[in-house]
């Protein structure tokens, strides 16, 4: 059907048009802008769900045209892509609601929401990209569209953060471009298809392939905040809370992690990557990042910075799962792509709520916050327990599959990493929870707002509760159809097990 | 059939426009200019239609064919440049016209319109000429017109810049003319098509090529002969700067490319090609670094032109003595780079002009707060910047991708390094501007507001620079018609 060849493009275009429309609206048209933005987000979500159902029935959705001789622009809905696109569209909707509440009465909202939509368009483009070239196109577009969000406040601090962000991401992009171009020279257009093209290459080229793999991982590792390329992430925390939420849970870090998944499974193919001996070093790097991020998180006194280092650590679970040779480990990595997104966005929403409602930024100011803001605090607790991996929450499902996957792949030491990391997660989250729930309030709140509300402004609270409920459901209902786990298993069945 | 041929009209119409512009009273010049634009478009489209229908056209003026008469050659490359000229010129003309309407009168810039039309005539004659002497005539006309345009504002600074430019332009033409004389003495023909066979591979041909190349790279402002460019391009009126950077410097490069492809490979050697490539690399690095250090907005954009010209010179080492595949990729990449730089740089100069007008100051540091008051012009600047940085999805990116592929195919990885580092340097200077404009400094809320048409002209050019990246296939296919890289790439 003709529509099926256009649908992937339409899905990307919904947020692109939303961005254009928002840029064209005058600054004061707040209600119209919000209505426009929210309906675009809802339409996009609907279309992605439509495609998701189709993909389960083996319908092909593919947009393709020749950009220049030998290079195609391909957008295609495959199970893995739909998984990431689904996450992006769900969280775009909630983050938009949150941002409308968060930025009430703030200046430059037109610019903010415009680039925000552009950022989502790039993320969905990354998700649906059908070859490495198209992936790179949207990967760089993401860098460009997030920069204005990082520097949104226009203060010296945020401009410095923007500078660091650009230095890392543009540098990473350059290395990635080199890798992509080199691979293109060897095998032509690199479509995502379980490494079909690379396996048949002359073995004399294998060292070259290893170098290319390293370049690709370096380029992607910047956004995925792999050690030692994670430096931009904690500094980028000066951005407004919805931006941090989006950067950490969906767009930027996930784009990097998702890219690594694509490179390992769809460019090299997991078996071929295993033969080249590339997986073990990747697993070691991911494990080192997991532990390092957790250790640094322990030392932070600022709530958002602690969450930022926690992101550094958690995103590497996805990379770790990718590097485990075997279907179960893969499921563990893929499912965490969704789980981490839901849990981390909840935590960042909560941090934003505390900051906006009480003026609290430091962890030691949180004493007694549970009484003033019970609903937000429950959401925070759910997110934190999920990250630690308390059964039956989402994080537990991830760690269980990763552990079994590690044993199957013969990497027993990974289990020790998982246990150690869970202990560290507990060590940096439990004291926060203790302060929130069990300590009495010490001093008046630094900067209190929303006195009229029992908790906080409903535009801020509702998305928080929604994502918290979803992360709870992802764990408790993991066995049901359409849960993240179910979807991760579909990906593995359809794509990687012949 | 030759009577109906619209080819000569590409030169006749702008020449007529220039003459008429001189004759009518000053207050009619703008209106006259805008009235001739649609005619230019008609002729351009007619010629493109001819190319599509009949392939490459050779037109002997007055029926005299080479070696006696003047021939015009309309292959894909030439007509691609013609179309680019018409497009860029139209938008710059709209920008200039609405600026004039805003000020109510032309004031000291009364000669702007006649000179602009001469510029178009000179450019079109260069794109279409098929012999090296006519190219010289075009080059000389172009140089003098451009100098006139730079001197137009009449300030001491502008006159100094124009003097320097004049000196460089004359010296360049002189070198070129010496080369032409040598070739003519050796072979007895001036036609480009005959040079390969007639000039042979002797010492004369080598010296001639060296002289002509020297003259042309001086006119193209290739590093280290670029010193005249930044004051000339940075100090002129915005639409003039746009035309100079987008098209005028490309004209001498265009002649150089035609020469190299025409001459025997024994004359145009790999060593010479590598030297040109190395100078190009120097331009990319030095120009990028200098652009980053500028404090005035338009000078930053001007130095960026110095840097971007460098990329175009990578063409020579990438096509000389390499495989057909690498050569074809380099051809496509260089032309796409040329087109997207022309569009993006013209857009950037117009946007910079708008920003300077809005700020009332030429300094980058005074941009603080402008993101809130002139978002459209800033957006155009950024959009053009994306193409200059070579980030996707833009013409600059697709061009860079092709050049990268060409360098990798021919195993010349050092050019890859130049391309990548050059991209990062341009990101540094483009984002320097954006960073300053995002600063929410002490509240300043008085900015002048340029008319909407000026902002839209900048946006249209910048957007075209982006769009050509996604729709590169058809312009590239067109420009391969009649080229040595005719089939595939």
B370 CB near a chain A CB, below 8 Å? no
Query: What pLDDT score does B183 carry?
Result: 86
Rounded to the nearest angstrom, the gap between the alpha carbon of residue B425 and the centroid of all alpha carbons in its chain is 21
A188 CB near a chain B CB, below 8 Å? no
Alpha-carbon distance of A33 to A27, in angstroms, equals 9
B416 CB near a chain A CB, below 8 Å? yes
Compare all CA atoms of chain A with the CA of B406 and give the residue at the minimum distance: A185
CB A22 within 8 A of CB A38: no
Asked whether residue A202 carries a pLDDT value surpassing 90, the answer given is: no
Which letter does DSSP use for residue A130 in this model? -
CB B337 within 8 A of CB B396: yes
Query: What pLDDT score does B79 carry?
Result: 92
Alpha-carbon distance of A87 to A94, in angstroms, equals 11
Which pLDDT tens digit goes with each residue over A143-199? 999 998 888 888 888 888 889 999 999 999 999 999 999 998 888 888 887 656 677
* Cβ–Cβ below 8 Å for A185 and B420: no
Q: Closest approach of chain B CAs to the CA of A5, in angstroms?
A: 18
The residues facing A362 across adjacent strands are A302
- Mean residue pLDDT across chain A: 87
Q: Which of B372, B397, B423 sits opposite A174 (nearest CB)?
A: B423
Q: Which of B372, B391, B489 sits opposite A69 (nearest CB)?
A: B489
DSSP string over A201-267: S-GGGHHHHHHHHHHHHHHHHHHHT-TTS-THHHHGGGS-HHHHHIIIIISHHHHHHHHHHHIIIII
pTM: 0.91
Phi/psi of residue B57, nearest 5 degrees: -110, 135
CB A450 within 8 A of CB A457: yes
A186 CB near a chain B CB, below 8 Å? no
A162 CB near a chain B CB, below 8 Å? yes
Compare all CA atoms of chain A with the CA of B435 and give the residue at the minimum distance: A159
Query: What pLDDT score does B1 carry?
Result: 40
Which pLDDT tens digit goes with each residue over B111-162? 888 999 999 999 999 999 988 888 999 999 999 999 999 998 888 889 999 9
The residues facing B445 across adjacent strands are none
Q: What is the mean pLDDT of residues B83-107?
A: 82
Asked whether residue A391 carries a pLDDT value surpassing 90, the answer given is: no
Q: Closest approach of chain A CAs to the CA of B353, in angstroms?
A: 22
Domain ranges of chain A: 278-498
* Cβ–Cβ below 8 Å for A67 and B435: no
* Cβ–Cβ below 8 Å for A68 and B402: yes
Alpha-carbon distance of A310 to A304, in angstroms, equals 10
Instruction: Tell me which residue of A132, A137, A109, A110 sits closest to A122, measured CA to CA.
Output: A137
B404 CB near a chain A CB, below 8 Å? yes
Q: What is the CA radius of gyration of chain A?
A: 21
A400 CB near a chain B CB, below 8 Å? no
A154 CB near a chain B CB, below 8 Å? yes
Q: Which of B405, B440, B488 sits opposite A184 (nearest CB)?
A: B405
For residue B488, which residues of chain A lie inside 8 Å, CB to CB? 69
Query: What pLDDT score does B489 carry?
Result: 32
Q: Closest approach of chain B CAs to the CA of A41, in angstroms?
A: 23
* Cβ–Cβ below 8 Å for A67 and B408: no
* Cβ–Cβ below 8 Å for B402 and A66: no
Asked whether residue B437 carries a pLDDT value surpassing 80, the answer given is: yes
Contacts 24+ apart (CB under 8 A), B212-215: B212/B132, B212/B175, B212/B176, B212/B179, B212/B180, B212/B256, B212/B259, B213/B256, B213/B259, B213/B272, B213/B276, B214/B175, B215/B171, B215/B172, B215/B173, B215/B174, B215/B175, B215/B176, B215/B177, B215/B178, B215/B179, B215/B252
User: What interface predicted TM-score (ipTM) does this complex get?
Assistant: 0.89
Strands (E) in B239-378, as ranges, are none
Which pLDDT tens digit goes with each residue over B24-81? 887 788 888 888 999 999 999 999 988 888 888 888 877 666 566 678 888 889 999 9
- B167: number of Cβ within 10 Å: 12
Most confident range, picked from A79-83, A106-110, B297-301: B297-301
CB B329 within 8 A of CB B409: yes
Asked whether residue B188 carries a pLDDT value surpassing 80, the answer given is: no
CB B246 within 8 A of CB B236: no
The residues facing A131 across adjacent strands are A191
Q: Is the peptide bond before A426 cis (omega within 30 degrees of 0)?
A: no
The residues facing A248 across adjacent strands are none
- Mean residue pLDDT across chain B: 87
* Cβ–Cβ below 8 Å for B392 and A67: no
Alpha-carbon distance of A257 to A225, in angstroms, equals 9
* Cβ–Cβ below 8 Å for A148 and B438: yes
For residue B435, which residues of chain A lie inside 8 Å, CB to CB? 151, 159, 162-163
- Please name the residues in contact with B16: beta carbons below 8 A apart, sequence gap of 6 or more: B36
């Amino acid at each position: 059907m003709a529509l099926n060849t256009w649908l992937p493009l339409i899905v990307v275009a919904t947020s692109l048009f939303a961005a254009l429309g928002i840029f064209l609206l005058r600054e004061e048209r707040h209600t119209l802008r919000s209505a426009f933005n929210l309906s675009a987000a809802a339409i996009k979500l609907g279309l992605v769900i439509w495609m998701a159902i189709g993909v389960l029935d083996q319908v092909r959705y593919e947009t393709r045209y020749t950009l220049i001789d030998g290079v195609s622009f391909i957008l295609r809905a495959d199970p893995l892509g739909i998984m990431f696109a689904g996450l992006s569209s769900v969280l775009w909707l909630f983050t938009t609601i949150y941002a409308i509440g968060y930025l009430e009465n703030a200046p430059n909202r037109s610019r903010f929401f415009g680039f925000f939509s552009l950022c989502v368009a790039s993320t969905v483009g990354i998700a649906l990209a059908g070859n490495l070239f198209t992936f790179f196109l949207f990967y760089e577009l993401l860098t460009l569209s997030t920069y204005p969000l990082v520097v949104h406040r226009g203060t010296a601090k945020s401009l410095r953060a923007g500078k660091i962000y650009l230095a890392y991401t543009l540098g990473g992009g350059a290395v990635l471009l080199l890798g992509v171009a080199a691979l293109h020279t060897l095998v032509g257009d690199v479509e995502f298809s379980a490494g079909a093209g690379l396996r048949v290459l002359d073995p004399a080229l294998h060292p070259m392939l290893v170098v290319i793999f390293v370049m690709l991982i370096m380029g992607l590792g910047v956004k995925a905040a792999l050690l030692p390329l994670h430096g931009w992430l904690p500094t980028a925390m000066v951005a407004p809370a919805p931006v941090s939420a989006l950067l950490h849970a969906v767009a930027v870090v996930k784009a990097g992690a998702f890219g690594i998944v694509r490179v390992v499974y769809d460019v090299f193919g997991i078996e071929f990557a295993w033969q080249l001996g590339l997986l073990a070093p990747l697993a070691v790097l991911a494990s080192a990042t997991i532990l390092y991020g957790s250790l640094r998180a322990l030392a932070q006194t600022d709530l958002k910075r602690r969450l930022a280092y926690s992101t550094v650590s958690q995103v590497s679970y996805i990379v770790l799962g990718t590097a485990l040779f075997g279907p179960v480990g893969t499921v563990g990595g893929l499912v965490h792509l969704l789980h981490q997104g839901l849990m981390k966005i909840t935590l960042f929403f909560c941090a934003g709520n505390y900051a906006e409602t009480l003026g609290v930024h430091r962890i030691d100011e949180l004493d007694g916050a549970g009484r003033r803001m019970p609903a937000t605090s429950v959401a925070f607790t759910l997110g934190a327990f999920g990250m630690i991996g308390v059964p039956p929450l989402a994080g537990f499902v991830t760690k269980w599959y990763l552990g079994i996957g590690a044993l199957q792949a013969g990497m027993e030491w990974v289990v020790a990493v998982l246990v150690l990391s869970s202990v560290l997660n507990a060590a940096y989250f439990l004291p926060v929870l203790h302060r929130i729930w069990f300590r009495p309030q010490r001093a008046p709140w630094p900067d209190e707002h929303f006195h009229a509300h029992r908790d906080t402004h409903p535009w801020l609270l509702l998305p928080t509760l929604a994502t918290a409920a979803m992360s709870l459901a992802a764990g408790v209902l993991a066995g049901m159809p359409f849960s993240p786990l179910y979807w991760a298993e579909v990906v593995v069945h359809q794509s990687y097990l012949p | 059939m030759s009577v109906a041929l619209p080819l000569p009209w590409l030169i006749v119409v702008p020449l007529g426009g220039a003459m008429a512009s001189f004759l009518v009273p000053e207050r009619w010049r703008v209106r006259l200019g805008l009235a001739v634009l649609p005619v230019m478009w008609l002729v351009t489209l007619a010629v493109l239609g001819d190319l599509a229908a009949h392939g490459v056209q050779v037109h002997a003026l007055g029926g005299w064919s080479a070696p006696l008469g003047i021939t015009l050659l309309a292959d894909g490359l030439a007509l691609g440049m013609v179309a680019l000229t018409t497009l860029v010129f139209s938008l710059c003309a709209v920008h200039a016209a609405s600026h004039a309407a805003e000020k109510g009168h032309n004031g000291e810039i009364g000669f702007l319109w006649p000179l602009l039309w001469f510029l178009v005539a000179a450019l079109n004659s260069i794109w279409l000429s098929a012999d090296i002497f006519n190219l010289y005539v075009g080059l000389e006309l172009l140089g003098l017109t451009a100098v006139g345009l730079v001197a137009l504002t009449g300030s001491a600074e502008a006159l100094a810049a124009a003097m320097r430019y004049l000196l460089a332009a004359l010296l360049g033409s002189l070198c070129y003319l010496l080369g032409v004389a040598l070739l003519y003495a050796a072979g007895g023909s001036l036609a480009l098509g005959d040079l390969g066979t007639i000039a042979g591979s002797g010492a004369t041909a080598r010296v001639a090529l060296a002289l002509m190349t020297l003259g042309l790279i001086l006119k193209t402002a290739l590093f280290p002969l670029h010193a005249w460019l930044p004051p000339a391009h940075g100090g002129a009126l915005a639409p003039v700067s746009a035309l100079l950077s987008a098209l005028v410097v490309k004209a001498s490069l265009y002649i150089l490319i035609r020469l190299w492809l025409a001459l025997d490979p024994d004359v145009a050697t790999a060593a010479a090609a590598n030297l040109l490539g190395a100078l190009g690399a120097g331009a990319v690095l030095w120009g990028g670094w200098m652009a980053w250090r500028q404090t005035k907005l338009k000078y930053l954009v001007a130095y960026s032109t110095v840097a971007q010209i460098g990329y175009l010179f990578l063409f020579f080492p990438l096509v000389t003595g390499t495989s057909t595949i690498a050569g074809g990729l380099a051809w496509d990449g260089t032309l796409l780079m040329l087109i997207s730089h022309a569009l993006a740089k013209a857009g950037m100069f117009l946007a910079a002009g708008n920003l300077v007008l809005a700020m009332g100051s030429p300094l980058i540091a005074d941009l603080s707060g402008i993101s809130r008051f002139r978002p459209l012009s800033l957006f155009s600047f950024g959009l053009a910047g994306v193409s200059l940085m070579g980030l996707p999805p833009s013409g600059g990116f697709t061009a860079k991708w092709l050049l990268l592929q060409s360098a990798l195919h021919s195993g010349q990885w050092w050019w890859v390094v130049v391309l990548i580092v050059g991209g990062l340097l341009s990101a540094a200077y483009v984002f320097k501007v954006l960073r300053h404009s995002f600063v929410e400094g002490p509240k300043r809320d008085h900015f002048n507001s340029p008319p909407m048409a000026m902002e839209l002209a900048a946006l249209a050019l910048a957007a075209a620079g982006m769009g050509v990246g996604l729709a590169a296939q058809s312009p590239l296919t067109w420009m391969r018609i009649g080229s040595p890289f005719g089939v595939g790439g």
